[in-house]
Amino acid sequence: MINLKLIEPISNLLNTTLGLFKDTKGKLSSKRTISGIIVMTASADIVQNGIGLNNLILTFLGVLPVIFSIFECQNTNQSDLG
């Protein structure tokens, strides 16, 4: 039997997690989604086998696109250029 009190917290957790993978326009960002999957895979392997060089490299590769996305320039609107 499903405990109805657990539905709302689980739903909120799923909505929050899904929100982490969305960009400023509300669409799913492939950069964040793929990076998130890579980092979650590395984290699961760390839990199972301990920290190793491969896990550190995989985590670095997963976090790298997110770090570079901070420094992206916003596109200017073409009508503002004259």
- The 10s digit of each residue's pLDDT in 18-58 is 676 666 677 766 666 778 788 888 888 888 988 899 888 88
| pLDDT above 70: percentage of residues in the chain | 63
Q: What is the pTM of this model?
A: 0.51
Rounded Cα distance, 68 and 19, in Å: 20
Say whether pLDDT at 75 is over 60. no
- Expressed in angstroms, the distance from the first to the final Cα of the chain is 64
* Residue 82 banded pLDDT, cuts 50, 70, 90: very low
